[in-house]
Amino acid sequence: MTALQLGAFAFLVGLTLCGLVGSIMELVSGRRLAFAAPYVTPAHVVRSLAMTVAAGPFMLVNDALDAHREQRLSTAGLGSCMCTAVIWLMALGVVTITVASVAASLLSLPVNLPR
């Protein structure tokens, strides 16, 4: 695989994971996903961190779009948040692929990663 294909694959893995986790969190809580309670609270730091790692790009985009609609965030700021979310999704995808690869090797499952 070329570097472009690997980057696109990592992005899509991150997007899929973030979308699934974010949608499940919204369905369970019945509230829109954001960097606010009940998702992020100082009383539950570990839970908040896990939720933010998995669904953080979704939270960031929701909060940025809300702030832009209310004219609290400029168009350049919105673009910056979108770029950050894309980079975050790609990093999440890389971590997910790495964890899946290590888990498969620990379980002695054959994994043929494309080269």
- Which pLDDT tens digits describe the chain residue by residue (115 residues)? 789 999 999 999 999 999 999 999 999 999 999 888 888 889 999 999 999 999 999 999 999 999 999 999 999 999 999 999 999 999 999 999 999 988 888 887 666 766 6
Q: What is the DSSP letter of 89?
A: H
Residue 41: inside a domain, yes or no? Answer: yes
Residue 60: inside a domain, yes or no? Answer: yes
What's the CA dihedral at 77, 78, 83, 86 to 10 degrees?
150
Residue 26: inside a domain, yes or no? Answer: no
Rounded to 5 degrees, what are φ and ψ at 35? -80, 60
Residue 108: inside a domain, yes or no? Answer: no
Residue 2: inside a domain, yes or no? Answer: no
Tokens (6 digits) for 10: 């990592």
Residue 93: inside a domain, yes or no? Answer: yes
What's the CA dihedral at 80, 84, 18, 50 to 10 degrees?
-120
Residue 16: inside a domain, yes or no? Answer: no
Domain count, the chain: 1
| Domain enclosing residue 75, as ranges | 32-99
